[in-house]
Amino acid sequence: MKNNARNILVVTYWTYKDALIQAYTLPYLHIIQEHLPRGSKIYLVTFEQAHMKLNMNEKMQVKHRLRLQGIHLITLQYMKFGPMALACWMLYFMRLIYTIIFKRISVIHAWCTPAGSIAYVLSRITRKPLVIDSYEPHAEAMIENKSWKPDSYQFRLLFSLEKKMSKHASVIISATNSMHDYAANKYDVNLTNFFVKPACVDFENFSSDKIRNVDLVRQLKLDDKVTCVYAGKFGGIYLDREVFDFFKVAQDYWKGRFRALILSGHNREELLRWASEAGISKDSLIIKLVPHSDVAEFIGLGDFAITPVKPIPTKKYCTPIKDGEYWALGLPVVITPDISEDSDIIMKKNIGAVINEFNQEEYLRVCKIIDDMLVNKNERKLNTEIMNVASQYRDFRIAHEVYEQVYGNILK
């Protein structure tokens, strides 16, 4: 009997414990499996950062659990993009080429362009089809957020590889339609097998029964409060001090009723310093680091949420995972302008507010918009409206349709 199994090598540039693996990679791998022949295996590559890497016992447990699901984990040591990383990659390439050959890999599937750079080289060497998932500009984004300089070798190398992988890939899966035009203008390539898949949400986890957990409300004393939730990072592509300036205005507007619930692994002392410098009282601030499995219940404590992505040009091509999670729990969202398609959706659907400038007057205007929504939310059935938006724009059925086309037709 002929064995039709097809094995996939999935390359990421994230640590296994990172939410980008847990919420933005693993759910899609299970969907991909549904569109592969019986007996197919997925080999998942992660790059482990020292402060988050799995210890020996954790690694054994994770590998065992994933293996039962048909996923085999390959962990490599993370290196910041640069000469040291390139040197290590020579060894990594040898190991991954060995995996491709001896594990009979049929397709190389990369998440985002940094991992896509590795996958591109592997694809050229092994002549295996390449899929670039979550395709968005990374090189230019690093310039815009001032992490790299325009003449740096990091930028020149990654931008060149982005251009090459765009022309070489058999399939491109982006978060937004506008990425097709970006590729034409910046990379001089007309993408053919091009699909759009935003950051979808697990509605079983981010469900209405996670809203206002009674025990957590009591524990955190949020009963009669106006709570703004932020789940994410600070710095890099995200604002930092500006977020606390907004919280200060919100604190003054709602007086003793306002609470900022921050779910982040960011350095606590730095967060407290920014809060102090902004004039935020300790009573108004709650900082929690919770496992991803518990994030939904904590987001569900909020009355509204904030997505403080820096409004740089390349962010119109990304898709914030957190927006879909906020929407799934019925939260109005405060966001910066031109972030993916989300800023426009929030404005058109009237389910939040856009911060157009970073000053007290603008923050106050936004607080008044949110206050009006919260006061009239029952009359508007606001939570239901927002949940419907989540269903329309973030349902996993979108991913099912995309991967069915990719693995059921194009790469069959």
Query: From start to end of 285-387, where are the E strands?
Result: 285-288, 304-307, 333-335, 352-354
Distance CA 147, CA 329 (A): 33
Sheet of 42-48: strands edge to edge? 71-77, 42-48, 7-11, 105-111, 130-135, 171-174, 194-196
User: How is residue 361 written in tokens?
Assistant: 């007057």
Q: At what angle do helices 112-126 and 153-168 cross, to 10 degrees?
A: 60
Task: Write down all domains in the chain, each with its CATH number in brackets.
Answer: 7-199+396-410 (3.40.50.2000), 208-394 (3.40.50.2000)
- Residue 65 is given by DSSP the state H
Q: Write down the pLDDT at residue 356.
A: 97
Q: Which residues contact 51 (CB under 8 A, 6 or more apart)?
A: none
Q: Write down the pLDDT at residue 291.
A: 84
Q: Write down the pLDDT at residue 319.
A: 86
Query: From start to end of 49-149, where are the E strands?
Result: 71-77, 105-111, 130-135
- Residue 111 is given by DSSP the state E
Distance CA 254, CA 269 (A): 25
Distance CA 406, CA 412 (A): 8
Contact criterion met (CB below 8 Å) for 352 and 304: yes
Cα radius of gyration (the chain) = 22
Q: Write down the pLDDT at residue 226.
A: 97
Contact criterion met (CB below 8 Å) for 42 and 315: no
Contact criterion met (CB below 8 Å) for 102 and 126: no
- List the Cα angle 12/16/21 in 5-degree steps: 60
Judge residue 194's burial from the number of C-beta atoms within 10 Å of its C-beta, 0-12 exposed, 13-18 middle, 19 or more buried.
middle
Q: What is the pLDDT along the chain (412 residues), one digit of tens a residue?
A: 346 889 999 999 999 998 889 889 999 999 999 999 999 999 999 999 988 889 999 999 999 999 999 999 999 998 776 667 777 878 899 999 999 999 999 999 999 999 999 999 999 999 999 999 999 999 999 999 888 999 998 899 999 999 999 999 999 999 999 999 999 999 999 999 999 999 999 999 999 999 999 999 999 999 999 999 999 999 888 999 999 999 999 999 999 899 999 999 899 999 999 999 999 999 999 999 988 889 999 999 999 999 999 999 999 998 889 999 999 999 999 999 999 999 999 999 999 999 999 999 999 999 999 999 999 988 889 999 999 999 999 999 999 999 999 999 999 8
Q: Write down the pLDDT at residue 82.
A: 62
User: How is residue 115 written in tokens?
Assistant: 């991992």
Q: Write down the pLDDT at residue 5.
A: 87
Q: Write down the pLDDT at residue 118.
A: 93
What burial letters (b/e) apply to 220-230, b meaning 16+ CB within 10 Å?
bebeebbbbbb
Q: Is the dihedral of CA 119, 401, 23, 331 positive or negative?
A: positive
Q: Write down the pLDDT at residue 3.
A: 60
C-alpha distances in Å from residue 231, one per residue of 73, 206, 378? 27, 14, 25
Q: Is the dihedral of CA 248, 249, 252, 253 positive or negative?
A: negative
Q: Write down the pLDDT at residue 147.
A: 87
Q: Write down the pLDDT at residue 83.
A: 65
pTM equals 0.89
Q: Write down the pLDDT at residue 89.
A: 78
Q: Is 204 helix (H, G, I), strand (E, B) or coil?
A: coil
Q: How far apart are the first and last CA of the chain?
A: 19
Distance CA 195, CA 391 (A): 19
Q: Write down the pLDDT at residue 1.
A: 38
- Tell how far CA 76 is from the center of its chain: 21
- Residue 7 is given by DSSP the state E
Distance CA 126, CA 94 (A): 11
